[in-house]
Amino acid sequence: MDAIIKNKQQLLSHGNVAGRSVVLDILEAGLRAPDPYPNMRKLVRLENGKLIVGHPDFRESAPLEPLVFDLSQVGHIYVVGGGKAVQRMAEALEDTLGDLITDGQINAKKGDTIRLKRIPVTLAGHPLPDEDSVARGRRMLEIEARCRKGDIIFCLDSGGGTATTAVPVPGITLEELREVYKILYFDSGANMPAANAVRNHLALVNTKHARYVGDATFIQISSREVPPSIVRAHLYQPPKGANGHQAAIQVLKAYHCWDKVPQSVRDFLLEGDPRYGPIRPDEVQGKPHYHYRIMGPEYMFAAARKRAQELGLQAMILALSLNDIEAQPVAETFGQIAHECEVLGEPLHPPCVLLCGGELVVATGNSTGRGGRNQEFALAAAPRIAGSKNIVIASVDSEGTDGPTDVAGGIVDGHTLDRLVEAGFDLRAELENHNSGGVLEALGDTVITGIRGQNVRDLRVVYVGARA
């Protein structure tokens, strides 16, 4: 079995080697689990000349009974989708359906490798959309416009699709759309639901595929980043009765961005043209549309906890989806919790592991540093555990690239603070400049996995070894 962490030898060449080995072992187990391919093969299958879609494991907002299609009665089969995990999902469809697939378009993240043999793949921009996002997003629209009654279109969805399939609404250019992304996500640190309330409204594709498929059978399959049963009441919620345009305006004003976004964006939102807003219930009512979720963070955390227990450790999942909070204060909190486990034996007695997921944010403003939310989390935790002989903390992005970098995350231990001071770094200044990647790379403490073809947000592992 190939190792997921490619630079393990380097990461074990210094610091708390025993503790690092435990953490990397748990990371490997967790990161191996959320591959969507096996679940796609369970959900979609061929049996005796029939296409079967459905499985008891995936009944969330899906029909209780599997969908059964007589292939002799099916017209064309199309596959479209965008995001970090969709190529792996489409790979399963190719292996199941083969030349039954008429056409399709998959947009994956730049830096990935193209693995599909039948369905065209474009590597598009992320976290900012680019010309490929637009051109191949338009190709999806062209395919969807071809659909007729009797056809089946599989729409694959995962995190990252907002950027990789971005097609601006009329009157807004790609550069203007990119500017909105930058202002909201990087400059202002808007949480994802709030950012999406604006970004999805300014794009033709993203959440609106079902609008364009006519009377064809529409089957959406998602690899979702957040368990749907989790209610995140603290996050942005549109006011009761607000339409999509009003909600987007409210977000921009709440984050003090209204006067910063391009005039064309303000004009579009104020006009409120319903043709480009969210899909209305009357547009799809009574049509053969179905939705399945085949992957989420719970798979990753179950595997990580199981591995920790196999190693003889107490293991606690603190949160599957701790989202949309600044990385630095969360890191400091986790560092303190680890310290109290070490000294007081609470909330767990060592040796133990605390696990946490979700997607934190980093509002970079005008900083010039290099890094991502996982690297920032790891580096910001270092002062809280400085001097400890027992604590190791790591944080990685499940898809293999942390923010705009090509590393998955970072790892720190009780020796990290001394090492960075010896290397001439001013930790406070580096964190203020959001240069976590530069510091961790210099220390040999970035975690490298390569692009994983999956996306269930982040895995944070806090390990506290037994006191000697």
pLDDT tens digits, 286-338: 899 999 999 999 999 999 999 999 999 999 999 998 988 999 999 999 999 99
How far apart are alpha carbons 325 and 328 in whole angstroms? 9
384, amino acid identity: R
Residue 207 — pLDDT band, cuts 50, 70, 90? Answer: confident
- Is 60 exceeded by the pLDDT of residue 230? no
Per-residue pLDDT tens over the stretch 406-417: 999 999 999 999
DSSP per residue, 1-67:
---S-TTHHHHTSSSSHHHHHHHHHHHHHHHHTT-SHHHHHHHEEEETTEEEE--TT--TTS-SSPE
Q: Of 153, 298, 294, whose CA–CA distance to 223 is shortest?
A: 294
How far apart are alpha carbons 449 and 185 in whole angstroms? 25
Report the Cα 149 to chain-centroid distance in Å.
33
How far apart are alpha carbons 175 and 196 in whole angstroms? 18
How far apart are alpha carbons 239 and 13 in whole angstroms? 53
How far apart are alpha carbons 468 and 45 in whole angstroms? 54
Lowest mean pLDDT among 39-53, 54-68, 143-157, 369-383: 54-68
- Is 90 exceeded by the pLDDT of residue 468? no
CA atoms lying within 13 Å on the CB side of residue 34: 35
Bond prior to 38 in cis (omega within 30° of 0)? no
**Mean pLDDT of the 202-229 span:** 86
Per-residue pLDDT tens over the stretch 84-94: 999 999 999 99
Residue 272, helix vs strand vs coil: coil
CA atoms lying within 13 Å on the CB side of residue 341: 29
Per-residue pLDDT, 196: 85
Q: What is the DSSP letter of 216?
A: S
Per-residue pLDDT, 345: 96
Q: Of 378, 402, 405, whose CA–CA distance to 392 is shortest?
A: 378
Say if CB 99 and CB 118 are below 8 A apart: yes
Cα end-to-end distance, the chain, whole Å: 34
> Which domains are seen in the chain, by residue range?
8-34+297-461 (3.40.1480.10), 37-167+203-243+278-295 (3.40.50.10180)
Q: Of 368, 408, 435, 362, whose CA–CA distance to 188 is shortest?
A: 362
Look up residue 443 and give its two tokens. Answer: 């220390």
Percentage of the chain beyond pLDDT 70 is 95
Per-residue pLDDT, 235: 46
Q: How many other C-beta atoms lie within 10 A of the C-beta of residue 158?
A: 28
Name which residue leads in pLDDT, 242 or 361: 361
Residue 53 — pLDDT band, cuts 50, 70, 90? Answer: very high
DSSP per residue, 334-382:
HHHHHHHHHHH--SSPSSEEEEEEE--B---TT------HHHHHHHHHG
Phi (first) and psi of residue 128, to 5 degrees:
-105, 135
How far apart are alpha carbons 292 and 63 in whole angstroms? 9
Report the Cα 46 to chain-centroid distance in Å.
30
